[in-house]
Structure 1
Amino acid sequence: MKNYTIYIVVLCSGLLLAGCGKDFLNKNPQGALSEEQVLNSDGVEANLLGAYGILNGNVRGTWGNVGAAPSQWLFGEVPSDNAHKGSEPTDDPGMNLIELLTPNPASTHLTHMWQVYYEGVARCNRTLVLLRRDQEGENTISAARAVEIQAESRMLRAHYYFYLWRVFRNIPWIDENTAFDEAQTMPNNEDVYPRIVADAQFAVDNLPEAKINGEMGRMDRTTAKAYLGKLYLYQRNYGLALPLFKEVIGGKDITSMPFQNNFNVDTEDGPEVVMASKHAINPDGSGDNANVGDMLTGIHGTSPVGCCGFHQPSIDLVNAYKVDANGLPYFNNAYRVDPYLSDFGITDTAAKRRYVVSDTLRVDPRLDYTVGRRGVPYLDYGVMPGDGWIRAVSWGGPFIGMKSMINQSQFASNAVPGAPYITGLDVNIIRLADVILMAAECEVELGNLSGALAYVNAIRVRAATLPAKQVDAVDVANYLVAPYPSFPDVNYARNAVRMERRLELAMEGHRFYDLVRWGIAKETIESYSAFEGRYLPAYNGIIFNTWNNYYPIPQIEIDRSGRTLIQNDGYN
C-alpha cells in the first residue's frame, strides 16, 4: 500500500509447512505478539495487510527476490522467445539453465518462488483463522467487514496459489483448516485448480465494488472478476471467462489511456490498473517494499542506473515489432526476413562509432516504449548509446528493457539513494489491455470474429497515439501501426490476437505461460532458438520437452516433506 508503511510481527503458523524455509522463523522471536494480542479487529486487519505484503515477492530484504518477482520475468519471459537472462554467462548461471529449458531442482530461484508464495498462503490462512476465532469469540469485527476480510484473504490466496500452480503445477493445498502435522507432509497429488477457482469465485461474490479505504493495492470485485476470468481462460472455458472480462471492460475506453502511463511512477495509479503489486521507497530510504524482484533488470554500465543488466529483449522480439506497408504485423515469423540487428555484429571500430539508427525502419511505436536500442531516446536519460549500457552484448544481445525503469528525474523520491535500480515503480499483475486481449481470445474461440476484431483494434488504435521518438526533431523510425480491416477466418484471428498479446505485453511476464497454455511452446521456442542462435550461439539448439510446460519441485522441499512431495515428471 503506497505512501505509508506498516510494521507488524506475523508469527509463522503451522500452516506454512516447509514453505517457511528459514531457520529464524522456527525460533521464538523477541517481542512477538501472542494470539490473544492480535485476536481483535486491529490484529486481524494487520495480519491481512501482512498477507498483502507478499504481493511484491519479498520476505528477505532487498537482494535475492528474482524468483518470486510479481512480474515473473525470470519464469514468464526469459524461457520464452521474448527475452534473455542477460548480464554475463558466469553471473547467476542457474538462470542460464532456466533460459535453456534445463532447470535444476536445486535452483535457489525455484526454491524462493515456492517458499515466498507459500508464505503468502500461510499469511492468508492465518488471517482467516484469526477472523474465525474473533467471530466465534469477542466479535470485534462487524459481520459485513468480516465477509470482506474473508474475500480479500481468499482472493490473495487464489493469486498466490495460481502463481505456484503455473510454475510447478503439482502442488499441495494448505488452507485454514489444515492441521500443523498434516501440513508438514501434505502430498502434491491433488488437482488444486478447482480450489483456486473457488477462492476467486468467493471473492467475486463478496468483495466490494470500490477499493477498501480507497487504497489502490486492495482487492476489489473488478480484480476478482478479471482473475476468475483468467482462471477460466487457462482451462479454455471461454464461455465462462468472456462474460467476466466484459464486465471488467464495462465500456472503458482504452484508447484514452496512454500506454506509457502504465510504466511511469507518477501515473501508475491510472484507470488501466486492474491488479498491481504496489511498491514504495521506505521513509528511511530503504527499499524492501520496492520493486526488489525487478532490481536486476536495471540497465548497466555507463547508464544513469549503472546496474544490473539482466532481462534483455531478444533480437526476435525486437523484429516482431516490424510492420508491413499497411501498418500490420508479420505472421508466421516473416518478420525474420532481413532482420534488424542495431549495431550488433559490427566489428570495425570506426564503423561502430559511425553507426546511425535507420529512420526508415518501419515499426510499431510500442517497440521504443518497450525496448532500448542504440540511437533512440531512452526515457529522459538521453539517446541510448549501445554497448556501453550492456554488460555482455555477445551473450544478451544489443537491446535493453524499459518497462521496469523510471525516469532519471524521478530518482530522488522514487529510488533507493545510490541504488536507482531499486524503485517504487508498481508492477501490473493484470491491466486492462491484458483483459481486453483475453476477451478477444475468447471471442475468437467462440466464433465471434467481429467482436475479437473490435477488441484487438482498440489496442492498436491506442498504440498509434504513442508520440514518436525523435532526435533533433526527426523521427528515429518510420512509426506505423494500424487497425486490422477484418479477420477473414479463425486462424488469422487467432494469430492476430496472439501477436497482439506479444506486442502489447512484452517483458511483463506473460509470454512463456501464454505459449504453454496455447499448446505452441515447443514449435515457437525451437523455431526461435534456430533464429536467435544465428547471432547468439548460446541459444541455438534449445529443445522443448513435454515436462518443460512446468518446472521442477524444489528438491529441498521434497526432502523437508519426508519425500511426501513427488517430483514432477522429467525432473527425477
Structure 2
Amino acid sequence: MKRINSIILLCIAAFFAACNSDFLEKTPQGELTIPQLETVDGVEGALVGAYGLLNGNVNGTWGNYSSAPSQWLFGEVGADNAHKGSVNGDQPNMNQVELYDVSVTNDNTEIMWNRYYEGIARCNNTLRLLKAVQAGDGTKFSDARAVEIEAEARMLRAHYYFYLVRTFKNIPYVDETIATADAITIPNTEPVWPKIEDDLKFAVQSLTPAKPKNEVGRVDKIAAQAYLGKVYLYQKKYGEALVLFKDVMTAKGNLVDMPFENNFDVTKENGPESIFEVQHNINPDGSGDNANVGDMLGGFYGSAPVNCCGFYQPTFDLVNSFRVTAQGLPMLDNSYRTNPYKSDFGLTGNAKTNYQLDKTIAFDPRLDYTVGRRGVPYRDWGIMAGDAWIRDPAYAGPFVGVKHMVEEAQFSGQTVSGGRYITGLNVHLIRLADVYLMAAECEVEAGTLGEAMRLVNAVRARAAKLPGKVVDGGPAAAYNVGQYAAFPSPEYARNAIHFERRLELAMEGHRFYDLVRWGVAKQVLESYSAFEGSILSAFKDLVFDAKDEYFPIPQQQIDRSQGALTQN
C-alpha cells in the first residue's frame, strides 16, 4: 500500500469561507478543500494517508531515524542491545539517548513527537470525513464498510498513541471531536491508556480476520487482538491480556513450523508469523520515500556492499548473551560476561591480520541471524570482513546488524537506486513469537508456570531449527538450543522469559520499553554499563535515573502550548 502525500487537509478552510476577498475565496491550485474530500474516494484516500505514517515519514527520505517504526534509536540504542555507531561526532543528539542524558531540545524527540501526532491527525481527519460523508446527501458507504473504516482508523490512532505514551508518558490526547485550532490547548494531565484501549476494543469488535479490501497491509481483527493484549500487558492487566493472546495464538497456528529467518526476508513478507507489519516499497521511479527510511543509517561502511552510514551496531553484551551452557540454555546469571567473546576487537598487527574465527564457542544460532561478525557469512554478501565494513570499531565495536538489511541479490528492485541503505524491507510491529512470549509473562502471573515454560520452549524449538552458518565446510560455532526442564519459581520464570525476549526480538525495537515496564531498567542498564564500559570506555559509569524511563517532551512543544503542556 503506497503512502498518499498529495492529500492536503486545509484546516483554515473556515477562514477562507468567512472572508470577503475574491482572492481568498478561490481554491488554491493543487490543493484539495474539505468539501472536495467529503466523498467516498476522499475518505478512502485519507485512510491510506493515515496508514502512510506507519513508516514514520512525512516526505523525502532523510531525517526520520527516531520515528522509525523499528524504534531502533529509543528501543535498542537507548538500552543494552545496540550502540549508535558511526563516529562520536556524528548525530551527537543520538549520543544523549545512548548515554541516558536527553535534553529538552534534542531533535530526535521532536521528530518522534511530530511524526506520530501527524499520524494521529490523519486518523482524526479520516474519521471526520467519514462522519460527514455518511451524514451527507451524496454517495455513502455501506454500513459494513463505514464501520470497518472507523475501526481501521481507530486502530491506527491507537498505535500512534501507544508509541507516544510509552516514549513520553504524559501526552495530550486529541481525537476527531477536537478542532485543530483547539488542539494546542489540550493539557497532558489526563490518562491516555483508557482511550487507546477504547480504540482497540472497537477494532477488535468491528474487524474480521480477513484483511479489509483484501489488501495485505491493512489491519485486521487478529492484529487488533494482539495489540490490545499488548496494551493490557503494559498496564499489568495480565488476565485480560492472556485471553486475547490465546485467541491470537489459536488463530495463527504453530510457531515452530514458521522459519525464524523468513521474518527478515523481503521476498517472504506478510507471512504466517506476521501479525502487524509496516509495508515498505521502493517507488516505481526508484525513489524511496515509501521505503524503510527510518533504518537507513544502519547501512555499513568502507568495502561493504552497502557503505553508508555506519550506525546501529550490536553491543558486546548483546552478542555474548547468545552464549549458552552445555545444556544449550541461556546464562541467566549473566555469566556470559565472564571471558567474553570479542571477535578481533583489540588485536593489532599480525594477530589482527591473521585472525581466525573461533568455531568452538557455544552460541544460540539466532546470533548469526541477528549480528554480523568477522569470519561468518553475512546474508549472501560473503564473509563479514570485520573492520573493513565498520566506520569506527574503536568507538562502537566490531559488530553489525543483520535483520534490517536485504540480500545482495535483492538490491535491484528492493533498494533505492544509488542508495542501497534504503530498502523495501517491511518492519514487524507485532509477530507471533512476540505474542508467545507476552503470553508466557501472563501465564507466570496467573501461576501457570508449566504453560509459561511450554510457550518459551516453543520459541526455542523454532530457534533450534535454524541452519547454522557454515565456514570452511563446518559450523561457524558450536550451535546449541536446549529446552527448559522446569521453571522452579516465578522469579526464575520471569528471568527466563525476559532473557528469551532479548534473544528472539533483539534489534527489533522492544528492549528499552521492556526494561522499563518490567521495572528493571536501572538495575540492568547500570550493570550493562559496567561490563560494556570495561571494553568500550565511552559507555563506562553510566547512571540511569527514574526520570530516564521516559523522554522529555520537546521544549518546542512546551513553548507552543502556551502553558497547556507540563514537562515530564
Structure 1 length-normalised TM? 0.95
Alpha-carbon shift at residue 124 of structure 1 (Å): 0.3
Q: Does 1:221 align with 2:226?
A: no
Q: 1:114 to 1:337 in 2, by over 3 A?
A: same
CA distance in 2 between partners of 1:463 and 1:545 (Å): 35
CA distance in 1 between partners of 2:390 and 2:350 (Å): 19
Q: Does 1:561 align with 2:558?
A: no
Which residue of the partner structure matches residue 307 of structure 2?
306
Which residue of the partner structure matches residue 547 of structure 1?
547
Structure 2 counterpart SS, 1:175 = coil
- Counterparts of 1:149-164 in structure 2 under 5 Å? 149-164=149-164
CA distance in 2 between partners of 1:137 and 1:283 (Å): 37
Alpha-carbon shift at residue 149 of structure 1 (Å): 0.5
2:4–2:52 contact (8 Å) kept in structure 1: no
Alpha-carbon shift at residue 181 of structure 1 (Å): 3.5
- Counterparts of 1:237-316 in structure 2 under 5 Å? 237-250=237-250, 252-316=253-317
CA distance in 2 between partners of 1:337 and 1:68 (Å): 36
1:278–1:426 contact (8 Å) kept in structure 2: yes
The runs of at least 4 aligned residues of structure 1 exceeding 4 Å deviation read 4-7
Structure 2 counterpart SS, 1:62 = coil
2:10–2:34 contact (8 Å) kept in structure 1: no
Which residue of the partner structure matches residue 480 of structure 2?
480
Q: Percent same amino acid at aligned positions?
A: 57
1:81–1:316 contact (8 Å) kept in structure 2: yes
Which residue of the partner structure matches residue 416 of structure 2?
416
* AA of the residue aligned to 2:91: D
Q: Does 1:517 align with 2:517?
A: yes
Which residue of the partner structure matches residue 8 of structure 2?
10
2:376–2:471 contact (8 Å) kept in structure 1: yes
Q: 1:165 to 1:29 in 2, by over 3 A?
A: farther
Which residue of the partner structure matches residue 437 of structure 2?
437
- Counterparts of 1:124-203 in structure 2 under 5 Å? 124-138=123-137, 140-203=140-203
Alpha-carbon shift at residue 394 of structure 1 (Å): 1.2
* AA of the residue aligned to 2:171: I
* AA of the residue aligned to 2:309: C
- Counterparts of 1:368-447 in structure 2 under 5 Å? 368-447=368-447
1:234–1:517 contact (8 Å) kept in structure 2: yes
CA distance in 2 between partners of 1:273 and 1:105 (Å): 36
CA distance in 2 between partners of 1:29 and 1:345 (Å): 62
Q: 1:29 to 1:277 in 2, by over 3 A?
A: farther
Q: How many residue pairs are counted as aligned between the two chains?
A: 553
Which residue of the partner structure matches residue 76 of structure 2?
77
Structure 1 counterpart SS, 2:326 = coil
* AA of the residue aligned to 2:242: L
Measured against aligned partners, the alpha-carbon deviations of 1:120-158 in whole angstroms (never above 9, x if no partner) come to 000000000000011111351111111000000000000
Structure 2 counterpart SS, 1:144 = helix
CA distance in 1 between partners of 2:80 and 2:28 (Å): 46
- Provide the alpha-carbon RMSD of the alignment: 1.3
Alpha-carbon shift at residue 105 of structure 1 (Å): 1.1
Structure 2 length-normalised TM? 0.96
Which residue of the partner structure matches residue 113 of structure 1?
112
CA distance in 1 between partners of 2:365 and 2:216 (Å): 29
Structure 1 counterpart SS, 2:202 = helix
Structure 2 counterpart SS, 1:362 = coil
Could you tell which deviates more after superposition, 136-145 or 124-133?
136-145
CA distance in 2 between partners of 1:61 and 1:207 (Å): 33
Alpha-carbon shift at residue 472 of structure 1 (Å): 2.2
Q: Does 1:92 align with 2:91?
A: yes
* AA of the residue aligned to 2:441: E
1:319–1:339 contact (8 Å) kept in structure 2: yes
2:414–2:423 contact (8 Å) kept in structure 1: yes
Alpha-carbon shift at residue 38 of structure 1 (Å): 1.4
2:5–2:58 contact (8 Å) kept in structure 1: no
Which residue of the partner structure matches residue 318 of structure 1?
319
2:3–2:51 contact (8 Å) kept in structure 1: no
Structure 1 counterpart SS, 2:191 = coil
Q: 1:565 to 1:246 in 2, by over 3 A?
A: same
- Counterparts of 1:342-361 in structure 2 under 5 Å? 342-347=343-348, 349-361=349-361
CA distance in 1 between partners of 2:50 and 2:147 (Å): 16
CA distance in 2 between partners of 1:386 and 1:441 (Å): 38
Alpha-carbon shift at residue 339 of structure 1 (Å): 0.4
CA distance in 2 between partners of 1:12 and 1:113 (Å): 23
CA distance in 2 between partners of 1:332 and 1:77 (Å): 21
Measured against aligned partners, the alpha-carbon deviations of 1:207-240 in whole angstroms (never above 9, x if no partner) come to 1220112222101000000000000000111000
* AA of the residue aligned to 1:316: D
Structure 2 counterpart SS, 1:447 = coil
CA distance in 2 between partners of 1:136 and 1:534 (Å): 66
Structure 2 counterpart SS, 1:84 = strand
* AA of the residue aligned to 2:347: I
* AA of the residue aligned to 2:84: K
1:309–1:390 contact (8 Å) kept in structure 2: yes
Which residue of the partner structure matches residue 19 of structure 2?
none
* AA of the residue aligned to 2:73: L
CA distance in 2 between partners of 1:387 and 1:12 (Å): 51
Alpha-carbon shift at residue 8 of structure 1 (Å): 3.4
Alpha-carbon shift at residue 7 of structure 1 (Å): 5.8
- Counterparts of 1:446-457 in structure 2 under 5 Å? 446-457=446-457
Structure 2 counterpart SS, 1:243 = helix
- Counterparts of 1:496-511 in structure 2 under 5 Å? 496-511=496-511
Alpha-carbon shift at residue 442 of structure 1 (Å): 0.5
Q: Does 1:38 align with 2:37?
A: yes
CA distance in 2 between partners of 1:11 and 1:218 (Å): 22
Q: 1:220 to 1:12 in 2, by over 3 A?
A: farther
Which residue of the partner structure matches residue 53 of structure 1?
52
CA distance in 1 between partners of 2:548 and 2:11 (Å): 33
1:14–1:183 contact (8 Å) kept in structure 2: no
2:274–2:430 contact (8 Å) kept in structure 1: yes
Q: 1:545 to 1:539 in 2, by over 3 A?
A: same
2:277–2:429 contact (8 Å) kept in structure 1: yes
2:299–2:308 contact (8 Å) kept in structure 1: yes
1:343–1:352 contact (8 Å) kept in structure 2: yes
Alpha-carbon shift at residue 468 of structure 1 (Å): 1.1
CA distance in 2 between partners of 1:317 and 1:245 (Å): 28
* AA of the residue aligned to 1:373: R
2:3–2:48 contact (8 Å) kept in structure 1: no
Alpha-carbon shift at residue 29 of structure 1 (Å): 6.0
Alpha-carbon shift at residue 5 of structure 1 (Å): 6.3
Structure 1 counterpart SS, 2:296 = helix
Structure 2 counterpart SS, 1:430 = strand
* AA of the residue aligned to 1:474: G
Which residue of the partner structure matches residue 20 of structure 2?
none
Q: 1:536 to 1:29 in 2, by over 3 A?
A: farther
Unaligned runs of 5+ in 2: 14-26
